[in-house]
Each structure stands twice: as C-alpha cells, then as structure tokens.
Structure 1
C-alpha cells in the first residue's frame, strides 16, 4: 500500500516563513482523532503528530487518503505564540472524499492459514482461499488504525462450513465487548468494522 503526500510552506499573514512550526493533523471524523502519519510513501517510517516544519518552514507528510484538518502553530499547543488559520476538510489522495467503490482498496487472501490485518492494510479483506478451512482474522490496534471502515468478506462463499472468526488486539473492544470476537458463518457473509473515535476498539 502507498500513502499520498501532502506538503506546504508555513507562512505568516505578511508572507514571512515560519521556521520549525508545529504541524498537527487530525482526521475529519467525529472526535477529530490524531491521524497516523508517515515520512515516506511506503509507510515504513512513522512520523510524529504533531511534527515540526523545517528551518525554511517547509512541511510534508504521507497519510492514508481522506479528509483532514491541519493546525499549524508555534509555542505551546494551549497557548500558541503563532497560529495559522485552521485548515478544514483538506482532501488528500485520489478519491479521498468519494463514497464510491473506486475509493476503496482490496486485498484477496488465497493462502492457507491465519490472516493478520495491518493498520495500513486494504479497506476490503476478501477471504478466498484455495483450500477449504476455517479462518482466524486478527484486526490491528484501533488506536493505530486510520479512522476508516475495514470490511472482512467471505469471497469463497463457504463461511457456513468454514467459519471466519475475527478477533481484535489485546485490550481493544469489538462491538463493546473487551477482547471480543465476531464470526462470519453465512456463505458470502461480511462485516464492516470501524475504529472508535477514541481508538479503544471497533464497532
């Protein structure tokens, strides 16, 4: 998976560069949680949030496509010495605010064995194994996952016989149950799970 890039220069109202300004990026969803940022397109190098612009006021980050609010300031967060106007609903990435199927990514699982879903994984995980067997699926930490729904789908059409059992990271809730699990046991069944705004689990 690759992550789109957003970049800009921090300027004050007079057009002067503001060096080393703090940049805070939040997902434009209820609760406005801090977004998971990366310093590279491949998502191998995590970036702090907030992070600092360079000495020339230049800032960039990579993030999963979506809508974000971007706050830029200097000094303390609660008592900034400078603060640029808050940027709202900044669309980042192709189809970032589209609700069509084209905006979702897919991963088809054909290999035998358990399935682990990563925080930066595809939006749709399609279980379509070449063998007939039950499948255990482990979700990533909700706190570290971009606040976008993930679907687990029976793509083989045999979940009635070969159940797909979904569990969460230790300490997370699933549909309000701590360390809960969910079973897809109908042929062609699916479940869509969304991280809670506070990152405590999935619903």
Structure 2
C-alpha cells in the first residue's frame, strides 16, 4: 500500500503556532479516525489523536484519501477540511499533501472516458498524451493506408493519412458509438499512390462536402475531415465526385 506524507505547522486562525497541540485526523468520507503511521513503510503506527512537537509541527503518513484535521491546544481550536492526500495534483491542492519522496503516478487510476486516451493509470496517460501531442504546424505522425479499404481510428487524429495503394481505396469514417471521437478532431489525407481515395460514411455518420463530393480530385491532392458534432463531419479540400 502506498502511503502519503502530510506535514505542516499547526496554527490557529490568527496564524499563531500551537506547540504540543493535539491533532486528530478523520476520513472525510466516513468520519472515522484515520489509520496513521510514522514511517513511509507503514511499519510504525502513529496514535490518532497525536501531539504536535514543541514547535507546533505535525506530520504523518496515511493511505490515499480526503481527510479532516482538527488541532486543539487549551481553548484554541484549528480545523482543516478536505485535505487531499494521494489524488492527482494533490500537491497543488494542498502544500502538505505530498507523498514522501515523489508523487507515484503509476499507482493512481485514470479513467480515459471522453479523453481520447486509452491508458488506465496517471503515469501511462501522461506518457500517452506527451506522445500524441501535436506541435503547432507539425503532424504527430504519418500513417500509410496500404490496403484498398481502411477504417479510421481514434489515434488518427492530428495525423497525415497517406493513401499509397495502387488501386482505388475506400476510407470509412466510423460512428461515434464505435470510436470516442473528440470535439473538433481533424484528420488530413494525401492521395499518394495510384489508386484514388474515396471517403465513405459509417453507420449513422453524415459527411458534409461541397456538392456531396467524396473523392480526392487528383493524385498528390489533399483533403481534410473535421468533426463538427457527434456523427457529423465536414470534408474539405481538393475534391471530386
């Protein structure tokens, strides 16, 4: 189990340090006292409540979650709510919410729904995002279509798709139900081989183009597909019927 470090001086609402204050830590979700540790490995339990040191400094290790802290010293009471330990960007949310040593992104679940990514952990999602990043004026990659039939995929966004087959080629735009297309997705195409590319709409998909043209007009000509809405695309460029 990964444990996260919280450490901070305990202060009242006027900013006065509270030496030796009694610190109580509870889960925001359950209201129960949290299980605390004195070390990263979780080998040394820490009492809850526990006492801040003579300088008012308090610290502990705990499992990921949202926590409520209450510190008391005589008549003085200080409280902090919704302290985020172990979640994404926890260090930005609360200065004390940092894992000992480093933020362990590999241990954090990530939901790719609606993002266009496929990763399921924060670490791999960041790596995938960095790899797919398209610089201004630069394609993320070039993909060659070598067969006479091709169906676009999510990772084609931001790429140049080059049709290289010597025979006529059909390029199909699949529906939103099959591919989680992102808003304003753009894919560029180049007729490179001898076979003329034709664009085809998948089930429920509408391709809008000038005079309903669905072919690239001439070899080495180009076209672009731009997602306008769910299952609605614009086809622009050097087109023919």
TM-score, with structure 1 as normaliser = 0.50
Larger radius of gyration: 2
Bigger helix fraction? 2
TM-score, with structure 2 as normaliser = 0.43
